[in-house]
Each structure stands twice: as structure tokens, then as C-alpha cells.
Amino acid sequence: MQTKMIEFTRPDGKKAPGYLEMPSAGKDAPGVVVIQEWWGLNDQIKGVADRLAKAGYRALVPDLFRGRITKDRDEASHWMGGLNWADATQQDIRGAVQHLKSWSPSRIAVLGFCMGGALTIAAGVNIPETDAGVCFYGIPPREAADPSKVRFPMQFHFATKDDWCNPAAIAKLEEDLKRGNVSYELYRYEAQHAFTNEARPEVHDPQATKLAWDRALKFLGAVLQG
């Protein structure tokens, strides 16, 4: 498999950077646009793209922070707070989806974690070229996206011990999804926020991660390849 940083064209014509992993099937394989956590385009999120490529998907991670990477929570929070959500969704992420679509008419999903999970929901509302979404423990602010308007099938993974995506927030999300007749699956895990992030041993839960990943691959296979 090839590993490389690329540039792709956004809908507004500007260039954006991204990390691309290709499967053995090449450009005809279905695609997944992976959306980073608030830490930036680090090795951990690149590893997610690597695993998806090994599972048979073209995987592209748009670099929303343009090369900035941190391990500092306050700095990451500052970057997320300063992110232009509309631009990130409708330009960077949509541009990544369109880039994969330009190679092949194969179906494309969006998959993200934390901030990226919230942006996955926003993609479901704002990116018509996308066919499915997988959201890990993220819910966007109401001004960024109304979950009842999600256009494609989605799968959600949430932790029960999460101060941000807490039980009340998840219940409200489900109300919105049902109100909009969105096709979705939603799973809860006895774990902490960011439980799939193996680079954070203080919260990583290998058993929950395996279960969530198996569910995600089954869902992607059914929607993108079924």
C-alpha cells in the first residue's frame, strides 16, 4: 500500500492537504474520509486510515489544522474553538469526498472521532456526495448542524462515562434523529470518552474498541459494498 501526503482541491478552488492510504484494490475501492480529533493530523489518526486501507477502503484524512499537532489539551481545545466549522465541513471535508469520488463512482463514507465525530454529523447534513457516516463520541453545536437533517445512514458509538457527550446529550441526539427519520444505529459502551484512542492509555479500552471497530466495518461493508 502507498502512504503519502497529498493535496486535493476544495469546492472553492483552494488546495487542502491530506493523508491518503490506498488499499490493494486501488482507485476502484469504496472510500472513507477520516476526520481527526482535536489533536491534529497525528500518527494515531493516520493509523485509523491505515487500518481502513487494510480493510479494503481508500482512506483520506483532510488536515483541518494545516500541519499543527499537539498533545496539550488546552491548545487542542483552543484550536477546536477557533475552527470554522462551515469551512471545515463544506470545503475541506467535502473536497476530500469529491476527490475520492473523482477517481471512481464508488460509494464514500465519512468517519470521525470526538471533534471529527461531530463534524461527521455536520457532513451528514451538508455534503450530498456522501453515502454513509460513522460517528465516534461527537455531537456538533446546533448552529453547525441539526442532526434531524442528516441525509445518509449513520452509525454512532458513545461512551457512558463522557462529560461532553453525556447521556442527556445522546438522548437529545436520538430524539433529533428519530424526528428526522434518519436511518441509524447507536451503541453505548461502558467506557470513557476517546476509548478507541490507543495513544491515550488512560482512557483506551481495547475490548470496547474491538467491538466498536467490528461494528463499524460491518456497517461500512453493508452500506458501501452491499
pLDDT tens-digit series, residues 49-79: 999 999 999 999 999 999 999 999 999 999 9
pLDDT in the model for residue 110? 98
In terms of Cα–Cα distance, which of 123, 112, 99, 126 is closest to 39?
Answer: 112
User: Within 73-114, where are the H helices?
Assistant: 73-81, 85-87, 94-103
Residue 1 pLDDT > 80: no
pLDDT of 202 reads 96
DSSP line for 8-40: EE-TTS-EEEEEEE--TTGGGS-EEEEE--TT-
Question: Is the pTM value of this prediction over 0.85?
Answer: yes
Q: Calculate ∠ Cα 183-166-37, nearest 5°.
A: 75
Q: How many domains in the chain?
A: 1
Alpha carbons 2 and 12: distance in angstroms, whole number? 28
Q: Is residue 21 very low, low, confident or very high in pLDDT (cuts 50, 70, 90)?
A: very high
Query: Would you state the pLDDT for residue 105?
Result: 80
Residues 6+ apart with CB under 8 A from 37: 44, 45, 76, 113, 114, 115, 116, 194, 197
Give residue 9's pLDDT band: very low, low, confident or very high (50, 70, 90).
very high
Q: How confident is the model at residue 25 (pLDDT cuts 50, 70, 90)?
A: confident
Residues 6+ apart with CB under 8 A from 218: none
> Of all residues in the chain, what percent carry a pLDDT higher than 90?
93
CATH number of the domain within which 55 lies? 3.40.50.1820
Domain that holds residue 96: 3-225
Q: Which residues contact 28 (CB under 8 A, 6 or more apart)?
A: 104, 106
Give the pLDDT confidence score for residue 107 in this predicted structure: 95
Question: CA 100 to CA 23: how far, in whole Å?
Answer: 13
Question: Is-contact 193 114, C-beta < 8 A?
Answer: yes
pLDDT of residue 2: 47
Predicted confidence at residue 4, as pLDDT, reads 87
| Averaged pLDDT for residues 181-207 | 97
